[in-house]
Amino acid sequence: MANDATSHSRSLTRTEAEHRAQALQVTSYDVALDLAIGDETFSSHSTIRFTSQATSTFLDVKPRTLHRITLDGLPLDPALLDRGRVPLTLDAGEHELVVEATMPFRNDGEGLHRSVDPADGRAYVYGMSFMDAAPSIFACFDQPDLKAPYSFRVTAPADWFVAGNAPAREAGGDGRTRQWELGPTPPLATYFVTLVAGPYHHLAAEHDGIRLGLSSRQSLAASLEREADELFTLTRQSFDELHRLFGVRYAFGDYHQAFVPEFNAGAMENPGCVTIRDPLLYDSGTATRADRSFRAALVAHEMAHQWFGNLVTPRWWDDLWLNESFAEYMGYRVVADATEYDDAWLHQSYARRTWGLTADCRPTTHPVAGNAAEDALSALQNFDGISYSRGSNVLRQLATRLGDEAFLGGVREHFELHRFGNATMHDLFGSWERAAGVADLDDFVRDWLLTPGPDTLRVEREAAAVIRTSPAAHPAQRRHLLDIAVHRDGGWQVEPLVLDGPTTPLAAGDAPVLLDARETTWALTPPDALTMAALPRLVPAMTAPQLRATTWNSVRLALFDNAVDVRDVAELLVAAPPVEDTADGVRNLLPWALDTALPLCPGGTTGRFHDAVRAATDAAVKGSELQLSAFRATILTSADAAELERWAAGASLPDGVAGDLDLRWKARRRLAEIGATDRSALDTALAEEPSGAATVHHARAVASLPTAEAKAFAWQRATGEVSVPNYEIEAAGVGMWRPDQRELTAPYAAAYFEELDTLIAAHQGWVQGVVLGAFFPISHLDDATAAAARRALERDLPGAVRRRLTDHLDELERRRAVLNGG
C-alpha cells in the first residue's frame, strides 16, 4: 500500500510521450468507481488492456492511497509509486494492468470535483480530466495520442443521476446505492473522459437521431427549465449546420450538456457529455443579448470540438491551438449563420479580441503554432488568448483566402484520413493545399502562425500614409486586408484598404480615421492624436455597433500600449460611457473601464463617470439592456451609502430595472469598497439568501472591506490556510487589491513575493495559475513592487509560475508607464 496524496506529480514531457506512443497500443479501459464510500474519497478500480514492445515505461496514477497493482496477474509493489508514476518493465506482447486505489475528491475544478451547494446542502460530482488530471480519477497512460475505448461501472447514492461519455444504464443496486454501466465508447483520449454524478435535475430531447440532454443542480432547476428551449434549439441548429459544413455525422452517440458548479473553464468538450460552468444558466433571469450570444457561441464551440479535437485529436499539446482556434472560429460562424444571434461576431469583438491582442504583446508571447511545449504544464500556459482569439482570426483569414469550397474540403479530407485518430497541423495544411490546388501555404503559416506578436498599423498625417511595423524581436512581412472608417461629411465612410508593404498611401486629410473597422485582420490600430481628440465628440453619435466595438477595442489597446494620452481616454469615458457592452462578463468593456482605466485617469474622473452613467440610466429606454448595463455601472461607482443600502435591499430601483441577486450583491460589494458595511452584514445577507453565486459575491465583498481582518480573510485563501472552492479563492483575490486601500494591502504586496513558495505549494494545476494572478498586487504601482517582481523572476521557478509572474509584471509596468506619463 502506498500513499501519494501529498506529493506533486511530474509533468509528462514530449520525449516521454513519443517513446510511450511508439511502444504501446492501448486496447481498452474498464473503470469501476464507487462514489458512495464517503465525502472525501472514492474508490477506483482500473483495468487496462494493451500491447507493447519490449520496453521500460510508466503508468500514471495519482491516488490518495494505492492499494494494489498487478501486471498480467503478478503483483507489483505499490511502493514503486513516485510522484504520480509507477515504473513498468514490459515484454513484447499483450498485457493487462489492474490498479485498485482510493482517490481524493477535489475542490479545484479538476479531477473528480465534488461541490456542496450552499443553497440546499446537496453534493454534486463531475470529472475534469484535461491536461494531466485524469490519473486522479483512474489509472491510465495519460497522453492525447494513446486513445482507447472506455467502459465504466459506477456505484453512486440511490438518488443520484449519472451521465458520461456514453449512455448510462442502470445495473442494479441495494436500496442505498445504484450501479450504472457506461460504454464502451469510441476511442477517446484520456483528457476527454468525464463523469457527471449527483442529484442533478435533468431534461431530455431528441434531434436527427441524436438523444439530447441537459442537467443542472436542483437549486438551478427553475433556471434550467426556463433556458431549456433556447439551449435545445441552439443545439439542434448547430448540429444541422455542422453536419452541413463538415459532411460527417456526429460520432459519439448521445449529446448531454451538463451545467456544473465551480468549473474553471467556460466548458469542456468531453465527447457525449459536455460540461459547462453553471453561471451560464443565468439564474438571475436578467441575461442580456450579449450574455446569451456569448453562451450560444460557447455551445457551438464545444459542438465543433466533437469533430475538431474529439474525432481527430492532436498528437501532442503543441497543436492544441488547432482545437481551440478552429472551434472558436466555427463556433462564432455557426451561431452567426444558423441561429438568432446573427450579430455573434460583434459580441466576439467585445469578448475576445483584446484578450488575444494583449497576450500577443506580452514578453511571453508565442507562436500560434509550433510551440515547443516540452511538457504538459508548459503547454497549458499557451492555452491563452493567442491560441483562441488570434488563431481563430487567422483561420477566418485563411477561409476567406481559400474560399469555402477549398477550406471545408480540406477539413473533410482531414476527418476522413484521421477518424478517431491523431494528427498534426502539417497534416491539416496538407489537406488544405490539396483541396485548394496550391503548392504550399508556407508563407502564410510563417507570417501568421509561426511568427508571434502583432503588427502595429498607424495613420501618419504628414506622410499621408498608413505605416505598418512588426515587433523588432519578431519581424514579419504580413499582407493586411482590412476596411478603414473615415469621418467625412458628417458621417463615417467605410472603404477597403490593402496593406502590401510597410507604407501604404492614405489621403485622409484632417478627417478622423479608424483602421480595421470590421476587425478582419490581426493588428494593433491605435487612434492617432487627431482622431483620439475627436472621439469624445463623435462616439456619442456613432450608431454602427461594430464600429463602436472597433473604436473601444482600439482605445483599450492603445491605453494598454501607452499609445494615447490617458486624459483623452478620461474624456471619452465621460462623454460616451461604454454601456453598450451589456454583457457582465470578466473580459468585457465595463470591467476594463472600472478596474483598469478609471484608476489611471486624473482625479475626479470616477465621479464624472458616475454622473455620466447615471444620466445614461435615466436616458435609456425603460427595461432595456442599455438601462441595465448603465445602472450596473452606476451602482459600482456610487459613493452614496444610503442609496446603495436601498439598492442592496432591492428598493428605489429605476423604473424598468428588475432587482435580482446580482444587483443586490453589486450594491453590497460597493458598500464594502467604501467602508459602509461590515462582515456581519455581509454574512447575514448570505445566510438569508444562500446560493453558489451569492457565496462567490460574498467572498469578493468581504475581501473588499477596508479592514485588516478583510485582507487576512483573503490571504488565508491564497495560502491555503482556509480551503474553499476555486471560485471563492479567485473572488477573494480580485476583491483584495483596491487602489484606495494601499496602506492596508501593503504588507500583502510584500508577502506575495516573500511567501511565493507557500502560494505555489498550496495549489496545483489551473487554480495555481488563478491564485498567482488574482493575488498579484496589481494596485501597488510603486518601485518596490516592481523590483520585488523582478527579483522573483531571477529565481528558479516552475514554468507555469514564471509565465504568470512575467505577464503580471508586464501589466504592472504598463500601468506605471501610463500613470507616470511615459
Claim to verify: residue 376 and residue 437 sit in the same structural domain? yes
pLDDT reading at 381 higher than 80: no
- Residue 229 within a domain: no
Place of cell 500491447: 51
d(CA 220, CA 210) in angstroms, rounded, equals 25
159, with CB counted inside 10 A (0-12, 13-18, 19+), is exposed
pLDDT average, residue stretch 684-689: 97
What pLDDT shows up at residue 126?
98
pLDDT digits (tens, 9 = 90+) for 723-751: 999 999 999 999 999 999 999 999 999 99
The pLDDT of residue 6 = 39
Residues 474 and 382 in one domain: no
Asked which of 395, 421, 450 is the last residue of a domain, the reply is 450
Q: Which domain holds residue 556?
A: 455-521+525-569
List, for residues 522-538, the tens digit of each pLDDT value: 999 999 999 999 999 99
Instruction: Tell me: do 793 and 712 sit in the same domain.
Output: yes
Confidence of residue 3 (pLDDT cuts 50, 70, 90): low
- pLDDT higher than 70, residue 4: no
Decide which of 450, 474, 490 is a domain's last residue.
450
Q: What is the pLDDT at residue 38?
A: 95
225-229, 313-317, 583-587, 593-597: range with lowest mean pLDDT: 583-587
Q: What percent of the chain has pLDDT over 70?
A: 97
Active site residue 688: no
- Would you say residue 5 has pLDDT above 60? no
Domain match, 424 and 514 both: no
pLDDT, residue 478, reads 95
Residues 489 and 542 in one domain: yes
Query: What value does the CA radius of gyration of the chain take, rounded to a whole number of Å?
Result: 27
In this structure, are residues 689 and 661 in contact, taking their beta carbons and an 8 Å threshold? yes
| pLDDT tens, position by position, 159-172 | 999 999 999 999 98
Among residues 302, 580, 625, 730, the one annotated as catalytic is 302
- Residues 561 and 412 reside in one and the same domain: no
pTM of the model: 0.94
DSSP at 456:
E
Count CB neighbours of 207 within 10 A.
15
* Judgement on whether residues 463 and 389 belong to the same structural domain of the protein: no
Instruction: Give 684's pLDDT tier (boundaries 50, 70, 90).
Output: very high
Q: In this structure, what CATH number is given to the domain that contains residue 444?
A: 1.10.390.10
Q: Which of 678, 695, 696 is nearest to 687 (CA)?
A: 695
Q: Are residues 40 and 172 in the same domain?
A: yes
Q: Are residues 440 and 459 in the same domain?
A: no
Same domain, yes or no: 418 and 480? no
How many domains does the chain contain in total? Answer: 4
Question: Over 70: is that where the pLDDT of 372 sits?
Answer: no
Q: What is the mean pLDDT of the chain?
A: 94
- Of 139-148, 432-441, 485-494, 615-624, the one with minimum mean pLDDT is 432-441
pLDDT at 587: 55
Q: Do both 408 and 464 map to the same domain?
A: no
CB 432 within 8 A of CB 441: yes
Q: What CATH code is carried by the domain that includes residue 26?
A: 2.60.40.1730
| Alpha carbon distance 498, 464 (integer Å) | 15
Whether residue 149 sits in one domain with residue 8: yes
